[in-house]
Chain A
Amino acid sequence: MGAQFVFFVSAMVALAMLVAFAILLLRRWYQERRKRAEKDNLTAITRSYMRRVSGQADNEASAKWSDELKLEAVSHIHLLLRGGERQRLMQMAELDGLLRATLRKSESWRSARRIDAIRLLQQFGSEACIARLREIFARDRNKAVRLEAAFALAAVHALPPPRETIRILGMFERKINRLDKALFRASAPHYSEELALLLEDDISHDHRALIIDALGWSEDPDVLPLLRKASRMNHAELRSAALRAAGQLGVPTVEPWVLERLRDPVEFVRIQAVNCCAALGLHGAIPHLRLLLEDEAFWVRLRAEHALEVLEEQWPDHEQPRLRA
Chain B
Amino acid sequence: MAKILIADDDAILTEMLRFRLEGARHQVVTAADGMEALEKAGSENPDLIILDSMMPVVAGPEVLARLRDAPQTARTPIVMLTARDGEKDVVAALKSGANEYMTKPFIPKELMVRIQKLLVRAA
In the complex they form, whether A and B have CB atoms below 8 Å apart is answered with yes
Question: Closest chain A residue to B23 by CB distance?
Answer: A54
What size tier do the contact residues of chain A reach?
Answer: 10 to 19
13 other A-B residue contacts (CB within 8 Å) besides A81-B105, A82-B105: A42-B15, A43-B15, A46-B15, A47-B19, A50-B19, A76-B12, A79-B104, A80-B10, A80-B12, A80-B106, A82-B106, A85-B108, A86-B105
- Chain A interface, >50% SS class: helix
Set of chain A residues within 8 Å of B15, measured between Cβ atoms: 42-43, 46-47, 50
Cβ of A73 under 8 Å from chain B: yes
B103 CB to nearest A CB, Å? 9
Would you mind naming 6 contact pairs between A and B with Cβ atoms under 8 Å apart? A42-B15, A46-B12, A50-B19, A81-B16, A82-B105, A85-B107
Cβ of A205 under 8 Å from chain B: no
Query: Per-residue 0/1 for A62-90: is the Cβ within 8 Å of any B Cβ (1 yes, 0 no)?
Result: 00000000000100111111110110000
Cβ of B11 under 8 Å from chain A: yes
A281 CB to nearest B CB, Å? 14
A75 CB to nearest B CB, Å? 10
Cβ of B13 under 8 Å from chain A: yes
B11 contacts A39, CB within 8 Å?
yes
Set of chain A residues within 8 Å of B23, measured between Cβ atoms: 54
Q: Which listed residue, B16, B105, B107, touches A46 by the CB 8 Å rule?
A: B16
Question: Closest chain A residue to B103 by CB distance?
Answer: A82
A321 CB to nearest B CB, Å? 27
Identify the interface centre among B11, B12, B23, B104: most chain A CB within 10 Å of its CB: B12
Query: Per-residue 0/1 for B91-123: is the Cβ within 8 Å of any A Cβ (1 yes, 0 no)?
Result: 000000000000011111100000000000000
Set of chain B residues within 8 Å of A39, measured between Cβ atoms: 11
CA distance A68 to B106 in the complex (A): 25
B107 contacts A82, CB within 8 Å?
yes
Set of chain A residues within 8 Å of B108, measured between Cβ atoms: 81, 85
A176 CB to nearest B CB, Å? 26
Question: Closest chain B residue to A39 by CB distance?
Answer: B11
Query: Per-residue 0/1 for A273-290: is the Cβ within 8 Å of any B Cβ (1 yes, 0 no)?
Result: 000000000000000000
Q: Give residues of chain B (1-60) contacting chain A, Cβ–Cβ below 8 Å.
A: 10-13, 15-16, 19-20, 23
B19 contacts A80, CB within 8 Å?
no
A194 CB to nearest B CB, Å? 28
Set of chain A residues within 8 Å of B16, measured between Cβ atoms: 46, 50, 77, 80-81
A150 CB to nearest B CB, Å? 23
CA distance A82 to B15 in the complex (A): 16
